[in-house]
């Protein structure tokens, strides 16, 4: 049975913008006469869809005995109207038709009813609605043969300056609960500085100290999927050369021994050094290990990294044959430019055939880091534009992996992702822009993020990426999901909603990506539609419409998207959830039930994301 067109009211603010087509709206501006012209409209707002579907507006005219003329003004360019009298008039119906060329947005229009002696004008709002038609078939050209197998996760950087975030007692429990609610897989643990547990090589027990490291590692081992990724990010200081880089000539085997001892510590009951046994307090082993952080920025040539990887991984496997490895962890930027971050400088050498000097050791995922900017002065437009470069890089990784049959199925992980990679140097200046004062880029947690991260998630997932990690969990408003006291930023609720909407099983299987056609001449929205094994369809709508070209952390422009579900037979229920500037940071967004219909309009008032869930 065909259902009526019904607008989706996700939050009270949206309900005020979208009024059902039968809701009354009256006004009386007529002149005083023996017979006073009275006119009213059946709605104060109409939605003109860009796919040409007609929209109607009732015009009720009374108080006159003769005929009346009905005219319309203020319509957006490309929208036409036609008045059809009912039973000979003067009342009737206005029919509006738009098209793909009509720019999205809202316009103030008016209807004027005129007789020989009187006239009355009534205002109404025309919203040009982008149409997203969701099909029932999988789009096998996207994701992994039509599946969105991308999980969400988060990261901890561990050093003396990061402090004891988890603490103990009730504080620890509360912060683990907050972390668990994200449902992250393989939480990334990166030890640097004083977080590195080996401080010297004297042969005494004083060479090792796991205190700072385990303040974070032990609570994480108890949290979420209990399967974090420990990234051996840097070498102990005594293995470094004069430039602060790993001295692979003299200390490559030392680094391999160090890595093997970390596996012993966490997975095999410990190791003995200087007459003292060092062992993890937890019986939970660490299965995933990352080998070095951003070697392209740490003084390692591609061939040196291949040699390091081929040396370290076998040493670790000799301790525990069950562990898995994340390789490369590249600082990824400038594809095709020949810059230090260009993956074209690293991947062809790293992924060359083993017989030709390429990787020969076990590899279970290949990882990279993607940031939209390293300058707080970059505009919102620039940050959104960078996402297409992210996609190009993931596609390049896939192409290179495919050249080796033994590695063609290795998943790609983005283990660091955020809007801005810059940070403050010791003088309070920008690390990326010498001389420029560093300013926290709050787009990492503002409503801008509520559009940017879902857009990144959708684009990378469609490109076949398998993991998207937030950098990082507890940090400033530029980087964090929560602040150092555990209070959520908006970014926390965004990441939580993405994981909840698109879960991936432990075996790596996610949801089916559905074919979707979007009429959006401005390319200002992103739509992702999926179906899970139970038949539940989830449609994500992202409003990334920039208000002005110079905006930096702007508000965005409103967008209305009509989700066309006419390809489906029926759904029993529907609900919607919006994350935007109005989201309560303490309680997070709340899903709101909506009436099931063939065409459900979803309104976003600026930068933000909406999730429409349809249950069969």
> For the chain, what are the domain ranges?
12-128, 150-508, 514-615
Q: Is 500 helix (H, G, I), strand (E, B) or coil?
A: helix
For residue 111, the tally of other CB atoms under 10 A from its CB is: 22
Strands (E), 115-182: 119-138, 147-148, 151-158
Quick one: pLDDT at residue 120? 97
Q: How many CA atoms within 13 Å lie on the side-chain side of 59?
A: 30
CATH fold of the domain at 12-128: Immunoglobulin-like (2.60.40)
Reported residue count of the chain is: 616
Select 514-615's CATH number: 2.40.170.20, 1.10.3720.10, 3.40.50.300, 2.60.40.1180: 2.60.40.1180
| Residue 314 backbone class (left: φ over 0; alpha: ψ -120 to 50; beta: rest) | alpha
Quick one: pLDDT at residue 100? 87
Residue 580 φ then ψ, to 5°: -160, -160
Quick one: pLDDT at residue 34? 63
In 3D space, the residue among 399, 474, 383 whose CA is nearest the CA of residue 176 turns out to be 474
CATH fold of the domain at 150-508: TIM Barrel (3.20.20)
Residue 113 φ then ψ, to 5°: -105, 125
Q: Is 456 helix (H, G, I), strand (E, B) or coil?
A: helix
Round to whole Å and give the CA distance between 367 and 309. 14
Q: Measured between alpha carbons, how far is residue 32 from residues 29, 40, 41, 61, 599 in Å?
A: 9, 17, 21, 16, 43
Quick one: pLDDT at residue 4? 37
Q: Whole-prediction pTM value?
A: 0.92
Round to whole Å and give the CA distance between 115 and 33. 12
Round to whole Å and give the CA distance between 230 and 272. 21
Question: pLDDT averaged over consecutive 10-residue blocks of the chain (616 residues)?
Answer: 39 36 36 75 96 96 90 96 92 95 92 95 97 98 98 98 96 98 98 97 98 98 97 98 97 98 98 98 98 97 98 98 98 96 98 97 98 98 98 98 97 98 95 96 98 98 98 98 98 98 94 96 94 97 98 97 96 98 98 96 97 98
Round to whole Å and give the CA distance between 375 and 435. 12
Q: How many CA atoms within 13 Å lie on the side-chain side of 48?
A: 28
Quick one: pLDDT at residue 12? 38
Q: 150-508 and 514-615: same fold? A: no
CB-based contacts of 29: which residues, under 8 Å, 6+ apart? 120, 121, 122
Quick one: pLDDT at residue 88? 84
Match 């989700």 to its residue by tokens.
563
């Amino acid at each position: 049975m065909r259902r009526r067109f019904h607008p989706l009211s996700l939050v009270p603010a949206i309900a005020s913008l979208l009024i059902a087509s039968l809701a009354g709206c009256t006004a009386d501006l007529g002149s005083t006469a023996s017979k006073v012209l009275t006119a009213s409209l059946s709605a104060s707002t109409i939605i003109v869809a860009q796919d040409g579907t007609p929209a109607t507006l009732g015009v009720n005219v009374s108080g006159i005995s003769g005929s009346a003329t009905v005219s319309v003004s203020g319509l957006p360019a490309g929208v036409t109207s036609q008045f059809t009298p009912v039973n000979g008039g003067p009342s009737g119906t206005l029919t509006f038709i738009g098209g793909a060329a009509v720019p999205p947005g809202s316009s103030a229009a008016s209807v004027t009813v005129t007789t020989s002696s009187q006239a009355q004008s009534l205002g109404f709002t025309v919203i040009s609605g982008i149409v997203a038609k969701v099909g029932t078939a999988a789009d096998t050209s996207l994701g992994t043969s039509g599946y969105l197998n991308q999980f969400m996760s988060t990261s901890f950087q561990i050093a003396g300056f990061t402090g004891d975030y988890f603490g103990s007692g009730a504080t620890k429990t509360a912060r683990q609960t907050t972390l668990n609610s994200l449902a992250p897989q393989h939480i990334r643990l990166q030890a640097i500085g004083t977080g590195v547990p080996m401080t010297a090589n004297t042969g005494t027990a004083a060479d090792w100290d796991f205190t700072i490291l385990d303040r974070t590692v032990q609570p994480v081992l108890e949290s979420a999927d209990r399967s974090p990724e420990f990234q051996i990010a840097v070498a102990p200081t005594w293995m470094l050369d004069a430039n602060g880089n790993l001295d692979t000539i003299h200390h490559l085997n030392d680094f391999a021994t160090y890595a093997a001892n970390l596996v012993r510590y966490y997975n095999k009951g410990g190791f003995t050094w200087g007459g003292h046994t060092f062992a993890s307090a937890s019986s939970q082993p660490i299965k995933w290990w990352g080998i070095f952080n951003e070697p392209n920025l740490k003084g390692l040539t591609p061939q040196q990294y291949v040699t390091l990887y081929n040396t370290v991984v076998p040493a670790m496997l000799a301790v525990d044959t069950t562990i898995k490895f994340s390789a490369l962890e590249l600082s990824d930027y400038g594809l095709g430019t020949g810059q230090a971050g260009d993956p074209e400088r690293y991947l062809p050498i790293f992924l060359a055939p083993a017989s030709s000097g390429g990787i020969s050791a076990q590899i279970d995922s290949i990882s990279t880091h993607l940031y939209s900017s390293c300058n707080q002065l970059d505009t919102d437009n620039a940050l959104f534009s960078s996402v297409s470069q992210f996609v190009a890089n993931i596609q390049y990784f896939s192409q290179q992996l495919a050249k080796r049959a033994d590695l063609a199925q290795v998943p790609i992980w983005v283990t660091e992702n955020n809007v801005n990679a810059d940070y403050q140097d010791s003088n309070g200046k920008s690390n990326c822009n010498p001389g420029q004062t560093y300013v926290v880029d709050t787009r990492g947690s503002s409503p801008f993020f509520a559009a940017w991260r879902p857009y990144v998630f959708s684009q990378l997932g469609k490109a076949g990426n398998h993991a998207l990690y937030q950098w990082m969990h507890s940090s400033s408003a530029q980087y964090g999901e929560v602040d150092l006291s555990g209070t959520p930023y908006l970014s926390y609720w965004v990441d939580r909603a993405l994981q909840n909407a698109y879960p991936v099983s432990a075996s790596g299987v996610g949801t089916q990506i559905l074919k979707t056609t979007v009429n959006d001449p401005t390319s200002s929205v992103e739509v992702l539609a999926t179906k899970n094994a139970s038949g539940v369809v989830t449609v994500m709508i992202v409003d990334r419409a920039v208000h002005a070209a110079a905006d930096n952390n702007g508000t965005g422009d409103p967008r209305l998207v009509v989700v066309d579900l006419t390809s489906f037979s029926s759904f029993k229920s529907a609900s919607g959830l919006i994350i935007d500037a109005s989201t309560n940071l303490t309680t997070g967004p709340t899903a709101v039930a909506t009436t099931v219909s063939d065409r459900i309009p979803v309104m976003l008032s600026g930068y933000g994301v909406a999730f429409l869930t349809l249950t069969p």
